[in-house]
Amino acid sequence: MLTDTLIRKTKKPAKPTKMMDGRGLFLLLAPSGGRWWRFRYNFAGKEKLLSLGTYPDVSLKAARDARDDARKLVAKGIDPSAVRREEKRATQEAAANTFTTVAREWLDNVKPKWAAIYHHDTTARFESYVFPDIGRTPIAAVTAPELLAVLRKIEKRGTVETAHKVARACGQVFRYGIATGRCERNPAADLRGALKARPKPKHMAALPASELPDFLHKIDQYDGELQTKLALRLLALTFVRTNELRSATWPEIDLDKAEWTIPAERMKTGAPHHVPLSRQAVVAFRQLRELSGKWPWVFPGRAPSKPMSKNTVLFALYRLGYHSRMTGHGFRALASTALNELGFRPDVIERQLAHIEKNAVRAAYHRSQYLEERTAMMQAWADFLDTQKDSETKVVAFKRARP
């Protein structure tokens, strides 16, 4: 029988040596100084060895306990080595199927179907809020309380809407995990009603049409940077989303054809968007080319390797006196209201706004670009803005401008 004292006093052997303990357990000593516990047993008429760890990481008592557990398995007709292999396989499988692994696989799977910005934002939420806490946990082992704890942290930051978005995305990952055989349940489904209610949506501030003349006049009188002034003018003329405008690159702009093609990866819809350019918009872009034509960005930032800051337009509106009354997105609401009043077809307006058709049947029948009608509408809109800007009155009634 071995003792800890005996083991500690034994010096390195000149060749591999076994120190027997009894009932199949021995300590294998190597000339290099390594000491490994081994259990010799017979199973199905064959002699086998089972590794039980190294000394002193595994103590003498722990090695004997492990030996006794293995002997019990043999007595039941179970091969301890087979059990060990299955445990190792399960451990490796769990490590290969962590929440992070499955989530990234799912993100790769949906990437071709999503707009680049939406995919980027969803990935960023996982990396910021989810992976640090449960990313290394096997997806099958994640519980509803663990997921709720992650979401509670987000809520405490005051971002309830983000918590709901993360919960929805996690639910999609778990459903993907179920479909691919990595888990059996979706704990996100158990959290229904556990999160704080979403705040009521806040509509983006937008001016009433009656203030158009004064607003357009103030844009013309803007005394800040010319690039910012032209950005405001082009938002009015094209009513694209602010991010779509500020991230525009010169290869997207064809001034000879008077068309701006925004690639799919920059669109919320995940499809390319064609913006017919009015004569007034072409003039504005030509002015910009003189300012930034040597850079890839139409609106370069202070560091030309990046586009203009997302706050530039907002701060310019503040400077014009429209704090809390107008936003970059407000140009879209203003144009939508006015164009409907001016008598343009709703389908044409919605297509120019690049809105997603929520009705699947309508979506199937309304894939037309309406490009000819949109081109005429965008020129009529630019001409209409000119009449408003030049008006001496502060309230100008809409009059049908459709050609």
Of 64, 67, 241, 266, which one is the catalytic site residue?
241
Check if 217 is active-site. Answer: no
Amino acid 91 reads: T
Between CA 71 and CA 52 the distance in angstroms is: 13
Check if 329 is active-site. Answer: yes
Between CA 312 and CA 232 the distance in angstroms is: 10
Report yes or no: 297 and 248 within 8 Å, Cβ to Cβ. Answer: yes
Report yes or no: 374 and 403 within 8 Å, Cβ to Cβ. Answer: no
Report yes or no: 222 and 351 within 8 Å, Cβ to Cβ. Answer: no
Instruction: Choose among 271, 234, 275: nearest CA to 258.
Output: 275
Of 12, 365, 394, 399, which one is the catalytic site residue?
365
Check if 268 is active-site. Answer: yes
What strands, in cross-sheet order, belong to the sheet with 253-254?
A: 253-254, 259-262, 273-276
Q: Strand pairing of 25-29 and 46-54?
A: unpaired
Of 125, 182, 266, 329, which one is the catalytic site residue?
329
Residue 135 structure tokens: 């990313």
Check if 365 is active-site. Answer: yes
Report yes or no: 234 and 245 within 8 Å, Cβ to Cβ. Answer: yes
Between CA 214 and CA 317 the distance in angstroms is: 13
Of 120, 355, 394, 399, which one is the catalytic site residue?
355
Report yes or no: 276 and 374 within 8 Å, Cβ to Cβ. Answer: yes
Of 40, 111, 165, 268, which one is the catalytic site residue?
268
For 5, 14, 184, 344, the CA distances from 207, given in Å and listed in that order, are 87, 90, 51, 20
3-class DSSP assignment, residue 293: coil
Exposed/middle/buried for 393, CB within 10 Å: 0-12, 13-18, 19+?
exposed
Check if 355 is active-site. Answer: yes
Strand partners, 43: 46
Of 64, 125, 266, 332, which one is the catalytic site residue?
332
| Positions marked catalytic | 241, 268, 329, 332, 355, 365
